[in-house]
Structure 1
Amino acid sequence: MKSTKIFVDCHVFDGNFQGTTTYLKGLYSELLKDKTKQFYFGTSNISFLKTIFGAHDNLTYISYKTKNKFYRLLFDIPKIIKQNKIDYAHFQYVVPPIKACKYIVTIHDVLFLDFPEYFPFFYKLKNKFLFKTSAKYSDIVLSVSEYSKIQIQKHFKIETVTITPNAVDPVYFETYQKDNIKEQVLKKFKAKNYFLYVSRWEPRKNHHCLLKVFVEKEYYKNHSLVFIGDKAIENKEYNDYYNSLPSAIKATIFSFHKLNFQDLLLLVRGADLSIYPSIAEGFGIPPLESLAANVPTICSNTTAMTDFQFFDDCLFNPLDLEDLKDKIEIGLKDTKIAQKKEAMLAKFSWKQAAEQFKKAIS
């Protein structure tokens, strides 16, 4: 029987870890177990990608000639598809304009259309054209949540969207010694007894509301606040509020960018409380990761996060500061982490996502 050949554009691994890298790592770590399929991973850094996926009989790594995205889409990828007689090529958000096989595109969200007030004008204009064209051009459209599926269908008039839901990397479920982790964090990052928020910086991510609660409730007297995430879209409201604070409070607030995965994992495990106050998400993996690591976690209850009902009494309205304050107190005393983690595992797994993917291409 002829193997199905699947090419995967893995250029996202050439940058920093984000939602798309977590998605591809989890999905294809599971799909690689299917020996009836031959996979081809395109990247500018083969040695690094091998540390993510390892060696497999049904996996071939292919190096891009350049990191330039236009060259990759216009020349590199069509050539790779033709030379290797690829059946399906899988992309994140944007597909090449030259079609040489069947295309699969994962559009994780269209939040810039749902919440236009949080995005720059040209960002919206450019991505609406690119995402819609890519969806129309593709044979299979995937997304990661029921919320995103419905919004993609509404905005782009796409009838069939298959959900391949995100899940959590198995490393987050590994056991560890909390006290030892806290000592490592204190030595390396100078943070202790901290609240944690993992997310890139954009106004919709709502960093400013979390900072206001941290200050107004005077949590800085006993805790630190740690933000992890790269800068994406400037949040002026956060900047103005932070700059108005006295230096003693600023000393309890830490912001880390471009961390490697091991440092990220260390900071997640060492947190007293993980807080995810985002206003809008296409999925929202970080609160699931902290829950998997047995860290008390409170989470926003909007958009795709309405699927996270297992957080139960630790869900809050991200625009209601009083609700956020109340849930911080509940989260710090949470005794139901094990039950919540079990319910999360029953709902989200990479095996489930892989099965949906295979159904879509069959």
Structure 2
Amino acid sequence: MNIKNTTSIFVDCHVFDSGFQGTRTYIQGLYSELIIKRDLHFFLVSSNPDNLASIFGNHSNVTYLKYKYENKYLRLLIDIPQIIKKHKIDFAHFQYTVSPFKRCRYIVTTHDILFINFPEYFSFFSKIINTFLYKQSAKWSEIRLTVSEFSKQKIHQHFGFSNYEITPNAIDNVFFEDYDKVLIKNEVAQKFSLKKYIIYVSRWEPRKNHQMVLKAFLDLELYKEYELLFLGNDTLSNPQYNEIFSQVDSEIKKKIFTLKNTDFNTMLLLLRGADASVYPSMAEGFGIPPLESVAAKIPTICSDKTAMSDFSFFEDYYFDPHNQIDFNDKLQKILKENLGTDFKIMAQKIKEKYSWKKSVEIVYRLIKQNQ
């Protein structure tokens, strides 16, 4: 392929150098689909390009590059401008924050500005710096994207930009695939010594509300029959959870597992092996994990706040993340009742509503319009 006859797209993929999070899922889903467009050439860049290649595969219109610096600011100030200049990039796609040295047209995805509406979950310094960086990044960008109607409204309210396009997250087809539950459970038991368990897939931050799950596990004495699995990396310390956990009986602690730095296949295996999945987050710009667990036919309950209020198909499986009794009742419901049919119907609704192909067509149209 003659790269000069194509539109070149730089994609900042530094999030692939750490654990699972929404921005990583977003980039992976969007660009796994967008690389089908052969009139575009992609430069995917991280500190571990071999890892990127294992995820996206080898394609004639994809070039993998390595950052010199792992530090965020050195990457934005030095690495990225040099790469854009060297490879004559036409568009550069960033998540939240762009490089201040503008040498091509910019695409920015502002997933959320939760630190403005929920300052109690963020440091004062991060709120001040991110408010400036996110707003300035939007000003410098020709194409502005976000992932939910909730985020679009909040960006308009606080930043004044009304021309954001919504490119929702979607769910990878692998989550919808059929699997043998018995075989999966046997594999999980052999590898992780987990038999009957409740799973919460999320990185650790106070707004993620891990303590609600722990309280339910203790109050309902679920440890007599189940184990509890938290799957996700540390981002911010959660003092409330730590305080409760420190007082838990040592025998009960043996029923509580925390796994970090897992790969995608391990995450999928553990999700499929779960008896129930919960998502009690108090604030999200989108909220992918509950959709993934429903797609995998796992009985799931989900917070009804912020962007997750768009997931109307949850209906009876919604709960208020500030109401422990509501959460406990809903958790007992999915553990006690046979709800397989309900979640199969919900999975189909998710598949119909959230599609990477739809989001890709929006991005592709905007690139063509801004050439």
Question: Shorter-chain TM-score: what band?
Answer: over 0.9
Which residue among 340, 364, 367 is the counterpart of 1:358? 364
1:8 and 1:41 in contact (8 A); partners too: yes
SS at match of 2:169: coil
SS at match of 1:208: helix
Which residue among 91, 111, 114 is the counterpart of 1:111? 114
1:195 and 1:223 in contact (8 A); partners too: yes
Which residue among 315, 337, 344 is the counterpart of 2:343? 337
CA distance in 2, matches of 1:71, 1:237: 35
1:81-230 correspondence runs (5 A): 81-230=84-233
1:61 Cα deviation from its structure 2 partner: 1.6
1:293 Cα deviation from its structure 2 partner: 1.1
1:25-44 correspondence runs (5 A): 25-44=28-47
CA distance in 2, matches of 1:54, 1:346: 26
1:41 Cα deviation from its structure 2 partner: 1.2
Which residue among 1, 15, 19 is the counterpart of 1:16? 19
Q: TM-score, normalised by structure 1?
A: 0.97
CA distance in 2, matches of 1:328, 1:356: 38
AA at the equivalent of 1:45: N
Please list the CA deviations of residues 265-316 of structure 1 after superposition, one character each: whole Å capped at 9, or x if unmatched: 1110100000001111100111111111111111111100011111221111
CA distance in 1, matches of 2:20, 2:212: 25
Which residue among 287, 292, 300 is the counterpart of 1:289? 292
CA distance in 1, matches of 2:326, 2:277: 16
Computed over aligned residues only, the root mean square deviation of the Cα atoms, in angstroms, reads: 1.4
Answer with 230-239 or 272-281: which moved more: 230-239
1:107 and 1:142 in contact (8 A); partners too: yes
2:208 and 2:280 in contact (8 A); partners too: yes
How many residues are treated as equivalent by the alignment?
Answer: 362
SS at match of 2:155: helix
1:6 and 1:88 in contact (8 A); partners too: yes
Matching of residue 348 in structure 1 with residue 357 in structure 2: no
AA at the equivalent of 2:74: Y
Which residue among 298, 301, 305 is the counterpart of 1:298? 301
CA distance in 2, matches of 1:348, 1:328: 26
AA at the equivalent of 2:87: N
SS at match of 2:157: helix
CA distance in 1, matches of 2:126, 2:67: 26
AA at the equivalent of 1:97: P
- Structure 2: which 5+ runs fail to align? none
CA distance in 1, matches of 2:162, 2:180: 49
CA distance in 2, matches of 1:271, 1:87: 45
Q: TM-score, normalised by structure 2?
A: 0.94
1:2 Cα deviation from its structure 2 partner: 4.3
CA distance in 1, matches of 2:61, 2:197: 44
CA distance in 1, matches of 2:121, 2:79: 34
CA distance in 2, matches of 1:90, 1:175: 34
1:215 Cα deviation from its structure 2 partner: 0.8
CA distance in 1, matches of 2:110, 2:206: 21
CA distance in 2, matches of 1:239, 1:17: 22
- Structure 1: which 5+ runs fail to align? none
